[in-house]
Structure 1
């Protein structure tokens, strides 16, 4: 139980941080200032911020047409969903 609470806390924090960085990148793009590198955005997504970033993509209309960023972001989320499903199935004895 403690593991799941820690995981939820971590994911909440990383989604908040990733969302804030994503919004900061959008503001920098509008103001024609220095941008956050895509590598950094994708690293945050891989650490768990992909749900926040995908939500914000359409919400603030940022990186909606940027390829391969969109595809990589969705692939990261897909891998995370599969990993959580496999871990959960293993934890309850289905695998």
Structure 2
């Protein structure tokens, strides 16, 4: 479980960075459903850090409200499972 969460968070973080770079260069973008989907699959911490560090998707309501909400729910689930 730890390796999975580390991998999905690193991937999500990388995709937020990559999408930001693509946005700057006006290239093909990573679909929002991919970014949100990976967040739902356990990558919410990587998404949150990516949003903050790269200032990416911070004006989109489904991201600035959704990602922290997903992160809180996932943290509660993890605490319930492990404690």
| TM-score, normalising length: structure 1 | 0.80
Give runs of ≥4 in structure 1 deviating > 6 Å.
none
C-alpha distance in structure 2 between counterparts of 1:58 and 1:69, whole Å: 11
Structure 1 position 65 matched with structure 2 position 78:
no
Residue correspondence of structure 1 range 14-53 to structure 2 within 5 A: 14-53=8-47
Q: Per-residue deviation at 1:41?
A: 0.3
Structure number with higher relative contact order (C-alpha < 8 Å, ≥ 6 residues apart): 2
| TM-score, normalising length: structure 2 | 0.90
Larger radius of gyration between Structure 1 and Structure 2 = 1
Unaligned runs of 5+ in 1: 1-6, 90-95
